[in-house]
Structures are given as structure tokens and as C-alpha cells.
Amino acid sequence: MLPAAPITKTQRVRIDLGDRSYDIDIGADLIGRSETFADVPRASTGVIVTNEVVAPLYLSTLRGALQSRHERVLNVVLPDGESHKQWLTLQTIFDHLLEAGCDRKTVLYALGGGVVGDMTGFAAACYMRGVSFVQVPTTLLAQVDSSVGGKTGINHPMGKNMIGAFHQPLKVVCDLDVLRSLPDREFSAGMAEIIKYGPIADMAFLDWIEDNIDALMLRDPMSLAHAVRRSCEIKAQVVGADERESGVRAVLNFGHTFGHAIEAGMGYGAWLHGEAVGCGMVMAARLSQALGLVDAAFVTRLNTLVKRAGLPVVAPVLDPSRNADRYLELMRVDKKAEAGEIRFVLIDPPGHASLRPASDAVVADVIARSCQPA
């Protein structure tokens, strides 16, 4: 078992991207302290973008910490949910910024989960062709996933995250205290991405998660601090080698090809992203097994851990009359597809992932088996 660093001290993960480098701070009681934001430029205006669920919980706390950094701190409160991750909501942010006369030095703060982070980041990428932003992720998923990588964007009726930009934050603040208010279902969704880092990069980390899954599910701060830090480190390592996702970075999408099909097929918001990824990982592991890359024990092990994290492991039927075809259709518009060929992130061997195509027949069989309760 790896030692978890003590929670009292804020931990820092450096994301090394040349002149776009930034730090992720991980610790307790961060968002209410002005020192947390000491390295953010003293722009005249700071704008907190959040949603109607998070605003009552943390908006005034963050506002308080930012008062000393900016002459005025404005806020934009968006509706909650993945269904609002679209142009009209983005337009709301632009309207606010322009009405308030925000200039190019304005700093945006994304206070919320992945949806708020992706939209705020994309707004920052596009407003006056680019302003700075700080990520303050309030969900476990956002802390371990969207806080590293600079991916921002919105959905299109024909596909998730189809419109977006790579735009790195000035810094990321992962306050572990805010995870206490997270609903169980959302907490589990975050666990999916933490578990993900094991099979694709670090089986010792998977061992550690298995050993600490009970403490993690009880939201023990010391266990969480380690899980968040190690997840960010692994993601940083992968992203550092491939900032613009031309190759190796795609391994981070383990479980996402099936997962995106589930999300799109069920209608965005029906399944949480992390739930779809959790189930998608089990499906991708099964596909890896079907291609002879991993053994049945590995699939069972992953299935068990995903289940213990409170995540679904039985895939939904998207269309009773042509279920596999529907999955395949949805996966073919995935951004990783090339000229219509789906490239799956497969485990080969455990602790390492690679991109490969697979025949429709084999994939269809995996889908059929995954839709049946084990």
C-alpha cells in the first residue's frame, strides 16, 4: 500500500507545458482563503462562473477569497446539467462579460463540475480570442479529470464535446472539503475516472484503490488526497507527452468510446459521464479479453471494483431492435474515429493501454454480453 501524504499540507502537482504550465493545488479549506489565489494576476475584474446548485454552497466563500485580487468580482450562474452544455448557455456567459465591459485581462473562475469547467474554459478560450481562467472543480470527477489537459468545449446535438478548444487554466484548485457535499451518485462517477488510471498506466495504483476503496467511498480526506494527486500525476504525465491529443493521450479515453455511446444513446444527462465511463471500462476490458489481450480474471477484477465504487456494470439497451448497430453508429462519430473506423482504447497488458480497431462482429458480441446482468 502506498503511503497517503498527510492532508494538513496542501499538495501541488505541476503540469509542465512550457509557457502554458500551471499548478494543481490539492488540499483542505482552499477556496475560502485568499492565499490560494496569490499567484493569479491582479486583473481589475474576476468573474466566477458557476451553476444554480453550486452557487448557494460555495459562491460567497470563493467571492470572499477573491475580493483582494480584483477590484470587482462578478458572477454568472448557469442552469445545472449536461443538457445545458451547449451554445445558448455559453452565449449567456459572453452576454454577461460584454455587458459588464470585461476586457482581455479579465480572469474567469470555473466553480463547479465538469460542465461548468468545460464551458467556462471554452468561454475563456473564445472571449476576445482568449482570456485567462482558473479551475475550481467541485466534483471528484472534475478534480481528477478536467483539471488536467486543457480540454474545453460544448456538446452538439450530434455528439458530445464536438465543439471546443484546448485552453490551459492559470491554475487548478482542488478543495477536498467541497467533496463532502457531493451526492453519492456523483461521487461514484468521479471514482470511475480514478479507477481508470490503474489499468491504463499504473497497476500499483489499482492495487491501492482496491485496498482503500472503503475509505475512499467514506470520503476519507487522506485517502482522497492521495487518489486525486496520483490521478492528476498520471494524467499530467500522459498529457505532457501529447498536449493536443495526436496520439498517446487517447489512452485516457479508456472506457469513453463505449461510454460516449451510452451517454448519447440514452440522452445526455440520463447517465452521468462517470457512470457511462465505469460501465464503458468494463466493456472495453471485455473487448480486450475478446482480442486476447487480457485474461478473464482481469475483467472480473475491474468489474468488481467498478461495482464496489457504486457504478453500473450492466450496459443499457439503446435500441431493442438493433442494439449493437446503434452502439456502433454512435461510436463511429466519436472524435477518435478516423474515416469511420472506430479506434478502441484497449488494455494490453494491464497497466498499459493502446488504440486498436476491432471488427464489428467482435464488438457486437461484447455489447450483447455487456447488456445482460452478469
Residue 296 three-state SS: helix
Residue number with CB closer to its own copies (3 or 101) = 101
Q: Can 167 be counted among the known catalytic residues?
A: no
Q: Is 27 annotated as a binding residue?
A: no
Q: Can 151 be counted among the known catalytic residues?
A: yes
Q: Is 171 annotated as a binding residue?
A: no
Nearest approach, Cβ of residue 269 and its own copies (Å): 20
**Per the structure block, which three cell numbers stand in for 59?**
459562491
Q: Is 148 annotated as a binding residue?
A: no
Q: In whole angstroms, give the CA distance from residue 335 to residue 341.
A: 11
The catalytic position among 51, 155, 212, 253 is 253
Q: Can 35 be counted among the known catalytic residues?
A: no
Amino acid in position 162:
M
Rule CB under 8 A: which residues touch its own copies?
44-45, 87, 91, 94-95, 98-99, 101, 103-105, 125-130, 151, 153, 156, 158-159, 161-166, 244-245, 332-333, 335, 337-340
Which residues, at least 6 apart from 328, have a Cβ–Cβ distance to it below 8 Å?
342, 360, 363, 364
b/e sequence 290-314, b meaning 16+ C-beta within 10 Å: bbebbeeebbebbbebbebbbbbbe
- Planar angle of CA 259, 262, 265, nearest 5 degrees: 145
Q: Is 151 annotated as a binding residue?
A: yes
Nearest approach, Cβ of residue 332 and its own copies (Å): 7
Residue number with CB closer to its own copies (1 or 339) = 339
Which residues, at least 6 apart from 360, have a Cβ–Cβ distance to it below 8 Å?
324, 328
- Closest listed residue to residue 228, CA positions, set 250, 255, 254, 209: 209
Residue number with CB closer to its own copies (165 or 215) = 165
Residue number with CB closer to its own copies (43 or 299) = 43
Q: Can 260 be counted among the known catalytic residues?
A: yes
Tally of CB atoms within 10 A around 32: 15
Q: In whole angstroms, give the CA distance from residue 186 to residue 269.
A: 12
Q: Can 249 be counted among the known catalytic residues?
A: yes
Q: Is 226 annotated as a binding residue?
A: no
Residue 351 three-state SS: coil
Q: In whole angstroms, give the CA distance from residue 335 to residue 353.
A: 18
What is the Cα gyration radius of the chain? 20
The catalytic position among 51, 70, 186, 193 is 193
The catalytic position among 99, 129, 180, 244 is 129
The catalytic position among 70, 167, 171, 260 is 260
Q: Can 193 be counted among the known catalytic residues?
A: yes
Residue number with CB closer to its own copies (98 or 374) = 98
The catalytic position among 235, 301, 326, 343 is 235
Nearest approach, Cβ of residue 126 and its own copies (Å): 5
Nearest approach, Cβ of residue 216 and its own copies (Å): 31
Q: 255 with 277: CB under 8 angstroms?
A: yes
Nearest approach, Cβ of residue 328 and its own copies (Å): 13
Which residues, at least 6 apart from 43, have a Cβ–Cβ distance to it below 8 Å?
69, 70, 105, 106, 107, 132
Residue number with CB closer to its own copies (12 or 105) = 105
Q: Is 34 annotated as a binding residue?
A: no
The catalytic position among 171, 196, 229, 256 is 256
Q: Can 129 be counted among the known catalytic residues?
A: yes
Q: Can 253 be counted among the known catalytic residues?
A: yes
Residue 266 to residues 58, 66, 256, 273, 326, Cα–Cα distance (Å): 31, 40, 15, 11, 11
Q: 58 with 72: CB under 8 angstroms?
A: no
Q: Is 282 annotated as a binding residue?
A: no
Q: Is 82 annotated as a binding residue?
A: yes
Nearest approach, Cβ of residue 303 and its own copies (Å): 32
Residues annotated within a binding site: 80-85, 114-118, 138-139, 151, 160, 193, 256, 273
Q: Which residues are annotated as a binding site for NAD(+)?
A: 80-85, 114-118, 138-139, 151, 160
Instruction: Cite the active site residues.
Output: 129, 151, 193, 235, 245, 249, 253, 256, 260, 273
